[in-house]
Structure 1
Amino acid sequence: MTSPSPDPEDLLEIADLAPSAATAVGEISGRWRVATWLRHATTIVALGVVVTVLLLNAKRSESALTTIAHARPAWIVAVAGVAAVTYAMAAACTIGSTTVRLARGRTVVMQVASSFVNRFVPGGVGGAVLNVRYLERAGARRSEAVTANALNNVAGLAVHLALFLGLLPFFGGLQRDVDPPDDAGAYVAILVGLVVVGAAVWIRWIPQHWKGHLRVMQLAASDVLRDPRRLTLLLLGSAGVTLAHGAGLWCALRSVDAHVTPTDVMVVYLVAAAAASISPTPGGLGAIEVALVTGLTRTGTPTTAAAAAVVIYRLVTYWLPVLPGLVAFRRLRRIGAI
């Protein structure tokens, strides 16, 4: 969960694609070929190596690698701890997005498994399909499972936007160019206006077949939205995922003795995550690293420290969960939960 949601068009099309999606997950579950897995894994790892090498380019590779080698272990452990929190928060989102009773521990394991699946499919689509499958196996109807997934993603988008608009006026990189007391309110007002106008245009011109899906989702979502406990889980879980990722990046910066305010780190993460959400690579690989380093240098962080911190952050939050995710995926498959 990481981070902004898959494109709304993808979410709405899940309803039409549900049978084939379920079949796809079934094929992953029942006929996972070692050769195919190795081919995909090799491709992703190779891309990751290329991205890391580009981050630690020739001009600063020696100093950046030295910085990583001398990073404070306690802060790296903190990055891992905060990363673990994201799975618990994502599980809270899933539990809050449906009226079906879900086992908390198993739902956390499912989120870990999603991190593995999402390494091979861009835009979080693999995790979305796995989530639909998991909810169906837990007793939800397909329409309920699709709606729960949509609610989860809409909540994530709303929280992401709210945090960005709320923190932007306090972003240090912005303060270097404009006077916040005079201009920050105007910037926020313009952003809100653009969002409102864009939403109005989108709703006005939305294709007819989308409207039918939205009506079904609206009816299925009403039970969840009328339940204060589930709505609270949904929103707080979404906020927790985003804030935990920002905290993980901040801990990575502290591990290399880079001092950036939590507010600045959070804004940089929000922007980078938005950029990663439209990247054609799994998990925004490549796009998010570049966006994070660029944003951190905008706050005054030395480029070497920014690159080192981003490498540490991504190694711990993106690459480290792959093996546990595979174990979780196989366990859920073995017990028939997916």
Structure 2
Amino acid sequence: MTSGRIAVAAGRGRVCGQLALTLVLLAVAVSLARHQWPVLETGALRLAVADQGWLLVAAAAAAATWGCSALAQQGAVVRPLPPGRLVAAQFAASAAGQLLPAGLGAGAVSLRFLMRCGLPAGRAATALAVKATSGGLTRAALIAVLATACPGVLGLPRLSAVWPAVAVAAAALALLLGTALWPRCRRAVALVLTDLRDVHARPRRAAALWGGSLGFAVLHALVLVAVTRAVALPLGPPLVALLYLAASSAAALLPTPGGLGSLDAALAFALTAGGAPGAAAASAVLGYRLLTLWLPLLPGLLVLALLVRRKAL
């Protein structure tokens, strides 16, 4: 009983810490937005007169991301899932992910859906871990390929002699923490590896897992590429895709709801560092976030409420 209360208290502490960090990051984002308001206003006006054809392409790519997410989730589960409800659950999960930090909302919706489909809680959790692992590996592979096609974009600046010592100390700390936590994590890692083997023993499931993960990352990059074409941003599509993948990976380290503030700042910084004017970069980020966050948010919450009412979650 005591250990259970301690676990609950620790969980609440983590959530409170993440929410506090979220509030701090949002406050910083609001402050930066007020400071850069002229650039944001110019970017919004530029987006209002953007090429409608390219914006339609971006909207279609954004809508297709939920299908790819559903495909990857099916690939991470051996048993068949109901296709319609699976896509609806992914759409609802994307909306729930905008409300809580660190993907807690999206993870909770997806976990509940898999459990409603008959998976035990442990298997449902490992299915989410399998999907997340394939998504991370796919994103890393895309970054490597695009970095080769765009050499020098992700080049590291020269570091002083202090940084190697800091890196060694960080590696030692990570090793100590990993050694201390490994006994607790070993069972979870073993379950994930077992599920990965089971999935790859079925070629169709493996193809769905990796194909859905690849499609999800590529389509999100395509949304930003299409928006940059719409606002006539002077950067090539491979470079924009690379900047998006790098910026979104960096923003994922900051647990804000839906990447609010962190992803916006990272994308704007990446595009301007890549050579885009400030107003054009702001309009591209606004367009991307409008199509992937703000417009789907209310419909996604309505779908979430409908799934809950029908006991699909």
Common fold, TM-score beyond 0.5? yes
CA distance in 2, matches of 1:130, 1:175: 35
Alignment of 1:29-44 (within 5 A): none
CA distance in 2, matches of 1:95, 1:177: 38
CA distance in 2, matches of 1:160, 1:280: 18
Partner of 1:82: 61
Taking structure 1 as the reference length, the TM-score comes to 0.75
Secondary structure at the aligned position of 1:278 is classed as coil
Shift of 1:324: 1.2
CA distance in 2, matches of 1:231, 1:316: 30
Tell me if structure 1 keeps the 8 A contact 2:130–2:195.
no
Partner of 1:228: 203
CA distance in 1, matches of 2:198, 2:34: 47
RMSD, aligned CA:
3.2
Alignment of 1:90-169 (within 5 A): 90-169=69-148
CA distance in 2, matches of 1:121, 1:175: 31
Structure 1 runs, 4 residues or longer, greater than 3 Å off? 50-53, 175-178, 200-204
Partner of 2:281: 306
Structure 2 gap segments, 5+ residues each: 1-6, 13-18, 158-167
Output one character per residue of 1:143-167: Cα deviation in whole Å (capped at 9) or x when no partner: 2111110100000010011111111
Change (3 A) 1:52 1:100: farther
Change (3 A) 1:108 1:289: same
CA distance in 2, matches of 1:270, 1:242: 8
Tell me if structure 2 keeps the 8 A contact 1:98–1:224.
yes
Output one character per residue of 1:160-207: Cα deviation in whole Å (capped at 9) or x when no partner: 1111111112226629999xxxxxxxxxxxxxxx9xx99x95997352
Tell me if structure 2 keeps the 8 A contact 1:52–1:311.
no
CA distance in 2, matches of 1:207, 1:77: 48
CA distance in 2, matches of 1:102, 1:62: 45
Partner of 2:160: none
Secondary structure at the aligned position of 1:321 is classed as helix
Secondary structure at the aligned position of 1:269 is classed as helix
Secondary structure at the aligned position of 1:60 is classed as helix
Partner of 2:50: 71
Shift of 1:69: 2.2
Shift of 1:299: 2.0
Equivalent position amino acid for 2:259 in 1: G
2:300 aligned with 1:329 = no
Change (3 A) 1:175 1:294: closer
Equivalent position amino acid for 1:279 in 2: L
Tell me if structure 2 keeps the 8 A contact 1:147–1:221.
no
Shift of 1:58: 3.9
2:268 aligned with 1:293 = yes
Tell me if structure 1 keeps the 8 A contact 2:147–2:154.
no
Change (3 A) 1:261 1:203: farther
CA distance in 1, matches of 2:140, 2:156: 22
Secondary structure at the aligned position of 1:315 is classed as helix
Equivalent position amino acid for 2:298 in 1: L
CA distance in 2, matches of 1:72, 1:80: 13
Partner of 2:215: 240
CA distance in 2, matches of 1:176, 1:274: 16
Shift of 1:291: 1.1
Change (3 A) 1:130 1:202: farther
Output one character per residue of 1:248-276: Cα deviation in whole Å (capped at 9) or x when no partner: 00111111111321211111111111122
Change (3 A) 1:160 1:62: closer
| Percent of matched pairs sharing the same residue | 32
2:231 aligned with 1:256 = yes
Shift of 1:211: 0.5
Shift of 1:64: 2.3
Secondary structure at the aligned position of 2:234 is classed as coil
Output one character per residue of 1:270-313: Cα deviation in whole Å (capped at 9) or x when no partner: 11111221113101111111111111112221111011111111
CA distance in 2, matches of 1:61, 1:107: 37
Output one character per residue of 1:195-225: Cα deviation in whole Å (capped at 9) or x when no partner: xx99x95997352011122223333443212
Instruction: Tell me the number of residue pairs that the alignment of Structure 1 and Structure 2 aligns.
Output: 281
Structure 1 gap segments, 5+ residues each: 1-15, 22-39, 179-193
Shift of 1:237: 0.5
